Structure 1
Amino acid sequence: MNCVIKMSLTDFMKNKRLYEKFQKIFKMPQIKKEKYILVKPKTKNYMLIGTAFDYLLRFYIARHNNKIINRDWVCEEVKGLARFEDDLRETSEEIVNRAKDNYEMYLDEGVLSNNLLSSVILIAKLDGILRSGGVLPNSLDIEPRDIEDLNNLYSVIPKNYFMKNEFCVLNPTFGTASLMVGGADADLIIGDTLIDIKTTINFKFTKEYFLQLIGYFILNELGGIDNFENNVDIKKLGIYYSRYGYLFTFNVSDVVGERDLKEFKKLFIDVAQGFD
Structure 2
Amino acid sequence: MTLTSKINGKTKKNKEFKNILLSVEPEKEHYYTLSEKTPFSDEYITIVRNELADSQRSSLLGTAFDYLARFRIAQFLKREDVVNGMVAVKGFKKIRNYRLRESGEFLEDEYCISLGKKILEFVNDSTKPISSIFEEAVRLAKFDQINRIRVREGDLNLDYLLIDSAPHDIVGELDKLMLVFEEKFMIPEIITQKSKVVFNPQFGVGSALVDGADADIFIDGTLYDFKTSKDRTLKKNDNLQLIGYYLLNELAIKTLSQFDFKYIHMDIKRIAFFKARFGEIEYYNVGERLPYADVQLKQKLKEIAIHFKGKKIRPPHMFADLEEVDQILEEIRNWDT
Following superposition, the deviation at residue 42 of structure 1 comes to 3.6
2:170 corresponds in structure 1 to: 146
- Structure 1 position 271 matched with structure 2 position 307: yes
Task: Note if contact 2:78-2:124 (Cα within 8 Å) is conserved in structure 1.
Answer: no
**Which residue of the partner structure matches residue 212 of structure 2?**
183
CA distance in 1, matches of 2:80, 2:309: 33
* 1:35-184 alignment runs, 5 A limit: 35-43=44-52, 44=54, 45-65=57-77, 70=82, 71-81=84-94, 82-85=97-100, 87=105, 89-90=107-108, 93-94=110-111, 96-110=112-126, 111-112=128-129, 114-134=131-151, 136-137=156-157, 139-140=160-161, 141=164, 142-157=166-181, 158=184, 159-160=186-187, 162-164=190-192, 165-184=194-213
With 141-150 and 107-116 compared, the bigger mean Cα shift is at 107-116
**How many angstroms does 1:152 deviate by?**
0.7
CA distance in 1, matches of 2:220, 2:70: 15
Residues 235 and 149 of structure 1, relative CA distance in 2, 3 Å threshold: same
Deviation sequence 1:100-157 (CA, Å, 0-9, x none) = 2321222233322544101100111111111113552572422112111111110001
- TM-aligned CA deviation for residue 269 of structure 1: 1.5
Residue of structure 2 equivalent to 1:207: 236
Q: 1 CA distance for matches of 2:190 and 2:80?
A: 12
Given that residues 192 and 234 in structure 1 are in contact (C-alpha distance below 8 angstroms), is that contact kept between their aligned partners in structure 2? yes
Once the two structures are TM-superposed, the CA of residue 273 in structure 1 deviates from its matched residue by: 2.5
Q: SS of the counterpart of 1:139?
A: helix
**What CA deviation, in whole Å up to 9, does each residue of 1:51-95 have, x standing for no partner?**
1011000001111125786432111123433333265733x742x
Which structure: larger Rg? 2
What letter corresponds to residue 276 of structure 2 in structure 1?
S
Tell me if the contact between 1:29 and 1:255 (Cα under 8 Å) persists in the aligned partners: no
**Quick one: which amino acid aligns to residue 152 of structure 1?**
K
Read off the aligned partner of 2:191 and give its amino acid letter: M
AA of the residue aligned to 1:83? Y
Root-mean-square deviation (CA, aligned residues, Å) is: 2.8
Displacement of 1:98: 3.4
Contact kept? 1:68, 1:168, Cα under 8 Å: no
User: Which moves more between the two structures, 232-241 or 20-29?
Assistant: 20-29
> Quick one: percent identity of the two aligned structures?
27
For the residue of structure 2 that corresponds to 1:194, the secondary structure is strand
Give 1:256 shift.
3.6
Which residue does 1:237 correspond to in 2?
271
Q: How does 1:210-221 map to 2 (within 5 A)?
A: 210-221=239-250
Which deviates the most, 26-35 or 242-251?
A: 26-35
Tell me, which stretches of 5 or more residues in structure 1 are unaligned?
none
Distance across 1 between alignment mates of 2:310 and 2:86: 31
**Gap runs ≥5 in structure 2:** 32-37, 312-337
Pair 1:167–1:46, CA change in 2 (3 A): same
Cα distance in 1 for residues equivalent to 2:141 and 2:17: 32
Q: Report deviation, 1:274.
A: 5.8
Structure 2 vs 1, CA of residues 50 and 10 (structure 1 numbering), >3 Å: closer, same or farther?
A: same
SS of structure 2 residue aligned to 1:166: coil
SS class of match (2:44): coil
Using the size of structure 2 for normalisation, the TM-score is 0.71
Question: CA distance change for structure 1 residues 143 and 115 in 2, over 3 Å: closer, same or farther?
Answer: same
- Would the alpha carbon gap of residues 103 and 22 (structure 1) be closer, same or farther in structure 2, given more than 3 Å must change? closer
